[in-house]
């Protein structure tokens, strides 16, 4: 981290990190337990059922972007800035607006499921499960931002850990004692865990229905527009591969693909979100951006190689713990590691650009808009031709395309320092 940001920024970031050390550890533990639960479900249900689990989760992750519209990032920015007396109006407006939008999307999507589901290559029940999960995830992220925005880090971390332990315990009991192998059961349990977190989180937030304001809602959605655009594009890029694979290969291959690609990607997200991110992101906000971009360009090969090696080792452990339904292949492992390494570099550029305010956000959106059609075409072609192997190869190629576009654009735009732009919140990686 010292090689990426100036020393002054690093000291500030590390000082902030020390103040949140215990909540960070608890939050990281909760994320690790959630990842372990997914591994337990993958082992217990088998490749085909876990493939269905993955498809529904992928639908939910994409839909969540439209339901949430980045209001959680707005809360993370606005709550710390406002006087506590103004917090109820902020949180009430965000919550009621999200309930109306998210509920409308869920109901409308369910009503149109007989038409939408075949277009996605899934059955209507899977789509409805995805919509329900998306609404629960949306409320989970929003209510967590209410607490984080008020700096109640300990409460958030403890609540996340309690919910994660409950979900793991319930899933393990259902698999080992009750013998339930149906993926839908665990999808409903996951939806319930997100909903339980949201209800518990709201006990620490003052909600005043009369405080809802149309003008405030309009301002909040306008505030989150840039982040929503970035989230929508990345959601499509890193979510449609599962939909493509489900259509052209089948649910068993989707389950195997999720182990090769999904688990390492989730671990990478944990590192960025709950690990070094808490210290790195505040430091990036005050760092000299042209210097940061030059350092990222120099460090990119090392980041890709290091992340790829860690991914290779971690995935080997995953396959050792899973059953024979998930075949271990050095070729697949190599493709997976290459893709995760390139994905780490893209995430690093994405974080750095997002922390540079409007200028960085616009540049990132332009790169994503240019790279998305090419990347999705590569994914679709690779999966249609080579199935599981093509999915992993397509993910690697997509990230290489994005890295090339972002690196070239950043190198051109950040040749010399310019005035700082208004800061925008940073995107989190992975779920």
**CB contact at 8 A, 200 and 158:** no
**Can you state the angle between helices 153-176 and 183-202, rounded to 10 degrees?**
160
Per-residue confidence in pLDDT tens, the chain, 431 aa? 455 555 554 455 455 555 667 887 888 788 889 888 998 999 999 999 999 999 999 999 999 999 999 999 889 888 988 888 889 999 999 999 999 999 999 999 999 999 999 999 999 999 999 999 999 999 999 999 999 888 888 899 999 999 999 999 999 999 999 999 999 999 999 999 999 999 999 999 999 999 999 999 999 999 888 889 999 999 999 999 999 999 999 889 999 999 999 888 887 877 666 555 555 555 665 678 888 899 999 999 999 999 999 889 888 888 888 866 788 899 999 999 999 999 999 998 998 887 787 888 899 999 999 999 999 999 999 999 999 999 999 999 999 999 999 999 999 999 865 544 445 444 444 44
C-alpha 151/C-alpha 252 separation (Å) is 43
Question: Which contiguous run of DSSP H or E holds residue 264?
Answer: helix 263-270
Q: Of 206, 227, 196, 222, which is closest to residue 95 (Cα–Cα)?
A: 206
Neighbours of 218 (CB within 10 A): 12
In order of 148, 275, 430, the CA distances from 270 in angstroms are: 17, 7, 8
- Do residues 56 and 133 make contact, with C-beta atoms less than 8 angstroms apart? yes
Can you give the pTM of this predicted structure?
Answer: 0.85
| CA–CA separation, 281 and 227 (whole Å) | 16
């Amino acid at each position: 981290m010292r090689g990426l940001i100036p020393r002054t920024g690093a000291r500030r970031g590390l000082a902030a990190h020390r103040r949140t050390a215990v909540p960070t550890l608890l939050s990281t533990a909760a994320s690790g337990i959630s990842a372990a639960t997914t591994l337990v479900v993958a082992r217990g249900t088998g490749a085909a059922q876990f493939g269905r689990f993955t498809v529904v989760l992928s639908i939910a992750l994409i839909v969540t972007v439209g339901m949430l519209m980045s209001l959680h990032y707005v809360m993370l920015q606005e709550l710390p800035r406002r006087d506590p007396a103004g917090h109820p109006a902020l949180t009430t407006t965000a919550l009621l607006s999200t309930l109306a939008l998210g509920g409308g999307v869920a109901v409308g999507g369910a009503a149109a499921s007989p038409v939408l589901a075949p277009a996605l290559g899934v059955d209507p029940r899977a789509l409805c499960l995805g919509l329900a999960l998306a609404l629960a995830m949306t409320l989970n992220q929003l209510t967590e931002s209410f607490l984080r925005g008020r700096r109640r880090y300990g409460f958030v971390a403890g609540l996340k850990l309690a919910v994660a332990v409950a979900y793991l315990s319930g899933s393990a009991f259902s698999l080992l004692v009750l013998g339930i192998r149906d993926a839908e059961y665990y999808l409903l349990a996951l939806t319930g865990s997100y909903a339980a977190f949201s209800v518990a989180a709201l006990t620490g937030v003052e909600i005043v229905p009369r405080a809802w304001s149309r003008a405030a809602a309009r301002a909040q959605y306008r505030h989150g527009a840039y982040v929503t655009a970035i989230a929508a594009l990345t959601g499509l890029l890193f979510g449609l591969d599962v939909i493509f694979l489900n259509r052209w290969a089948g649910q068993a291959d989707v389950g195997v693909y999720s182990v090769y690609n999904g688990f390492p990607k989730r671990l990478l997200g944990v590192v960025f979100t709950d690990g070094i991110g808490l210290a790195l992101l505040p430091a990036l906000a005050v760092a000299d951006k042209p210097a940061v971009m030059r350092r990222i360009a120099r460090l990119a090969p090392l980041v890709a190689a290091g992340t790829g090696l860690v991914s290779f080792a971690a995935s080997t452990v995953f396959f050792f713990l899973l059953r024979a339904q998930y075949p271990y292949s050095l070729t697949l492992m190599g493709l997976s590691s290459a893709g995760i390494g390139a994905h780490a570099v893209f995430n690093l550029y994405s974080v750095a650009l997002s922390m540079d305010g409007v200028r960085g956000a616009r540049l990132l959106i332009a790169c994503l808009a240019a790279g998305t059609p090419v990347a999705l075409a590569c994914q679709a072609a690779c999966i249609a031709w080579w199935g599981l192997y093509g999915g992993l190869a397509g993910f690697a190629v997509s990230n290489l395309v994005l890295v090339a576009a972002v690196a070239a654009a950043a190198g051109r735009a950040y040749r010399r320092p310019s005035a700082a732009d208004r800061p925008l919140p940073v995107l989190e990686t992975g779920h």
